[in-house]
Structure 1
Amino acid sequence: MASCPQTAVGRLAALARARFAERADGYDRSAAFPAEDFADLSAAGLLAAAAPRAYGGLGLGPQQRVTLPLWEMTTHLAAADLSLARCWEGHTNSLVLIDALGTAEQKRCWFAGVVERGEIWVAWSGEPQAPKPGEARRFGTTVESVAGGWVVNGTKAFATSATGARWAILLVNPAGPGGARHAAAGACDELLMLVCDLTDPTVTVDTTWWDPLGMRATASHVVRFDHTFLPSGRLLGEPGSYLSGQWQTAFVPHYAASFLGAAEAAYAYALRYLKHQGRTGDPYVQQRVGRMAVNTDSARLWLRHVAGLWDEGRLDEARIAGSRARHAIEHLAEETVQHCIRACGARSLVRPAPVERILRDLTVYQRHDDDDHILATIGRAALGERHDPSFHKP
């Protein structure tokens, strides 16, 4: 167990460089969940980073007000493999929710599973409300209250870590399909977080749907629930607590930490490549490298600023600052990758160079939220208009 947050960050960074970066290409090509990476994280005592120290964790994250080290870990993982970082985000964000909203018994049981048995968590909301062109299937869940708990039927899409996680926090609504992002007005108070054991035989994974351009190793498949019974002790928090507590705002800047990792990986590759090619004297190359240096520094400063607001308990400021950081860092990262490609040339996009994968992964992951709506949310806040920093809706 690491004695301090920065020691833990350093240990994780060393693993990312020595092992995870080397495995990333293989996981991408096979679209396989990075199971070996998570096994290494567990063996190193890092899988419970966001669990409280009282339960054997490292006590990191916004709930414990030690936020930046957790986001720095994510950045290091993303520099090695952006898909791995997304799976890690889902896991650690789930632990933050358990820490904030779980009962004493839930915390004792679920954190012990992570610390002692290396169990992986994830939270799933995705229920797209309309099929894309050419797509026949529809997604969505129904929830029925029964004696002793609930019965869930239907499907979740974009179910990250579907073939690797042991537990999933399902964001579901008895009022009808939609998940958290699509909760209808008036139905938000009914949104439930129900914890599902993914070894339940009524839960199946459809691996035919997930064939994306990038983020392939997130294993974000379709998951089907066929009369899956979830007992009352699996309810996390009160109905509606995810939305009323604005917990999504704690995770919005966490995405940006992954974007930064992708940018740092591209920047590091460019430095190595350009030095090896003897092109450091080219003034145009120097300008692009200078831009990359400024971009990555700026992104780090944004994350440090937002993390500080969370740690100081300045929640209203932290929530809108997280949206600002998410918007800014998306563009800083995107620009950094493009500068790398332009400075290094077409060979940087030929495998096994990692830039080709970084470009694909970042392109897909940036679609996690609509940046146009994020920017409009920032504008509404600045104008004193009603705004939703969780899901960027008017």
Structure 2
Amino acid sequence: MDHLPLSARQRAAYNQAGLLAHERFAARAGHHAESRTLPVDDLKDLARAGLLNLAAGEDIGGGGSGIMGQDPLLYLLVLDQIARHAGLATSHSLQVHSHALHFVDQCATQAQRRRLLAPIIAAEGLTTTLSSEPGRTARGPRHTTLAHRHGQGFVISGTKNFATLAAACSHLLVLVDGAPDSDVAGQRLALLVPVDAPGVRIEDTGWNPYGMRAGVSPLVHFDRHEVPEDALIGPPGAHADGNWSVKADLGFAAQYVGAAHGILESTVRAARRRGVAASPAVELRLGEAWSRLAAARWHYYGAAKLWETRDEGAAGPASQSAKVQAVKAAEQVLETATRIAGPSAFDADSELTLRSNDLRYLMMREQPDALSVSLGKALIDSAAEPVAAPVAGIAG
């Protein structure tokens, strides 16, 4: 990958993350998956390397990256490399931390950044966003975790699920809806909550999925937890109005591309062991998978560049498109691995099985068809551009 047009700082982070993942994180991945424990030791290594808080501003100890930062691609390269060399458990833990951190960094007041965020960074604390709730898919986007007015702040009650990393966090970014009888009725609030505060309880539900077993995601209960007004990050509606779900898309795209890259490399090694690497059919499948994967990587690079130019109108759809292409490329790599690597490469405890299961499981959250429909509708609804006249000398 030495041909990639990266800055010196990007190249250094890319290489450093890859080295850590290859030499340390990969060796621990099997243990974390088997024991269903979060890769906290990997995150500590990232903190020591200066790679944990890239998505916060440099003025408070971060790295100035993140989608709305000075260098959006920087933290994406780190996610890509970790997923490639060590799998998804650590990269996804870093992604959810980075996304919550970046939202607070971008949406909080300067006073909140200094008072709330800077100490988290200095203490190498972890954060995650709590949005998902039991039954939400059937119920729709409405949250049942509600905020009621209480003095100069709020009282929140409810339950969040799929709270990846919550058990290792110092703070939680909790998305709640304003209660019907409050002055913020129907509006979504983002509240920064200390995990050890009264009324906050993390429940170990026996996390036992077939993939992402080290991406432990407990339930988090809020029982009349009191939140001061100055823990409200951004105005009501800031998360939805700022399209922060879309701003997470490239973090997932980078991980899918990186994880698929690692699986494809394992597949090549398996093909060599089986003695089928010189088969034209194998070469064809590998070449097609690699071409699609490389295109997906360039796609998310380009989308990151659009965020750097602050052209959100173009960057948002480009990020959605990049994630669609990353999912499609990853699906092709998984199919290629199944066809080429052979049954022995997929023993229950093998690295290829672990990484493939993790990628399939994490991508279950995606709806690429719905995203493509949205992009297609936007294309149809956009004003038609005039067709350019044929170039002189070229037959029409």
Q: State TM-score, norm by structure 1.
A: 0.88
Identify the residue that residue 65 of structure 1 maps to in structure 2: 70
8 Å Cα contact 1:288/1:340 also seen in 2: no
Which residue type is aligned with residue 281 of structure 2?
A: Y
Alignment match of 2:188 (pick from 173, 188, 191): 191
Shift in Å, 1:35: 0.9
Alignment match of 2:146 (pick from 125, 142, 146): 142
Identify the residue that residue 204 of structure 1 maps to in structure 2: 201
User: Within 5 Å, which residues of 2 pair with 1:152-171?
Assistant: 152-171=156-175
Q: Residues 143-195 of structure 1, C-alpha deviation per residue, up to 9 Å, x if partnerless?
A: 1110121111110011111211111110110147xxxxxxxxx966x110000
Identify the residue that residue 131 of structure 2 maps to in structure 1: 125
- In structure 2, relative to structure 1, the CA distance for the partners of 1:292 and 1:114 (3 Å cut) is farther
Distance in 1 of aligned mates of 2:298 and 2:8 = 25
Q: Residues 186-242 of structure 1, C-alpha deviation per residue, up to 9 Å, x if partnerless?
A: 966x11000010012421122126322212212111111111111111110010111
8 Å Cα contact 1:129/1:140 also seen in 2: no
Distance in 2 of aligned mates of 1:73 and 1:264 = 14
Alignment match of 1:357 (pick from 346, 354, 357): 354
- In structure 2, relative to structure 1, the CA distance for the partners of 1:229 and 1:264 (3 Å cut) is same
Identify the residue that residue 31 of structure 1 maps to in structure 2: 36
Which residue type is aligned with residue 218 of structure 1?
A: G
Q: Residues 322-345 of structure 1, C-alpha deviation per residue, up to 9 Å, x if partnerless?
A: 111111110111111220221111
User: Within 5 Å, which residues of 2 pair with 1:1-394?
Assistant: 4-79=9-84, 80-129=86-135, 140-175=144-179, 190-208=187-205, 210-384=207-381
- In structure 2, relative to structure 1, the CA distance for the partners of 1:231 and 1:112 (3 Å cut) is same
Q: CA RMSD in A?
A: 2.2
Q: Residues 343-365 of structure 1, C-alpha deviation per residue, up to 9 Å, x if partnerless?
A: 11111211442221222212221
8 Å Cα contact 1:341/1:348 also seen in 2: no
Distance in 2 of aligned mates of 1:109 and 1:85 = 28
8 Å Cα contact 2:126/2:168 also seen in 1: yes
Distance in 2 of aligned mates of 1:68 and 1:42 = 19
Shift in Å, 1:115: 3.4
8 Å Cα contact 1:101/1:236 also seen in 2: yes
Which residue type is aligned with residue 331 of structure 2?
A: E
Which residue type is aligned with residue 225 of structure 1?
A: F
Distance in 1 of aligned mates of 2:379 and 2:208 = 39
Distance in 1 of aligned mates of 2:11 and 2:261 = 19
Shift in Å, 1:265: 0.9
SS in 2 for 1:158: coil
Shift in Å, 1:369: 2.9
Distance in 2 of aligned mates of 1:38 and 1:359 = 22
Distance in 1 of aligned mates of 2:216 and 2:355 = 17
8 Å Cα contact 1:143/1:174 also seen in 2: yes
8 Å Cα contact 1:65/1:312 also seen in 2: no
SS in 2 for 1:218: coil
Q: Residues 41-61 of structure 1, C-alpha deviation per residue, up to 9 Å, x if partnerless?
A: 111121111111122221112
Distance in 1 of aligned mates of 2:355 and 2:292 = 16
8 Å Cα contact 2:127/2:166 also seen in 1: no
- In structure 2, relative to structure 1, the CA distance for the partners of 1:29 and 1:284 (3 Å cut) is same
Bigger mean CA offset, 345-354 vs 82-91:
345-354
Which residue type is aligned with residue 164 of structure 2?
A: T
Distance in 1 of aligned mates of 2:118 and 2:167 = 21
Q: How many residue pairs get matched?
A: 369
Identify the residue that residue 391 of structure 1 maps to in structure 2: none
- In structure 2, relative to structure 1, the CA distance for the partners of 1:187 and 1:285 (3 Å cut) is farther
Distance in 2 of aligned mates of 1:142 and 1:20 = 39
Distance in 1 of aligned mates of 2:174 and 2:209 = 23
8 Å Cα contact 1:172/1:191 also seen in 2: yes
SS in 1 for 2:55: coil
Q: State TM-score, norm by structure 2.
A: 0.88
Identify the residue that residue 181 of structure 1 maps to in structure 2: none
SS in 2 for 1:159: coil
Bigger mean CA offset, 327-336 vs 120-129:
120-129
Identify the residue that residue 179 of structure 1 maps to in structure 2: none
Q: Which has the larger radius of gyration?
A: 2
Distance in 2 of aligned mates of 1:18 and 1:300 = 24
8 Å Cα contact 1:124/1:169 also seen in 2: yes
Distance in 2 of aligned mates of 1:63 and 1:323 = 16
Distance in 2 of aligned mates of 1:330 and 1:209 = 28
- In structure 2, relative to structure 1, the CA distance for the partners of 1:131 and 1:243 (3 Å cut) is closer
Shift in Å, 1:307: 0.7
Distance in 1 of aligned mates of 2:372 and 2:8 = 40
Shift in Å, 1:3: 8.1
Unmatched runs of 5 consecutive residues or more in structure 1: 133-138, 177-185, 386-394
- In structure 2, relative to structure 1, the CA distance for the partners of 1:309 and 1:203 (3 Å cut) is same
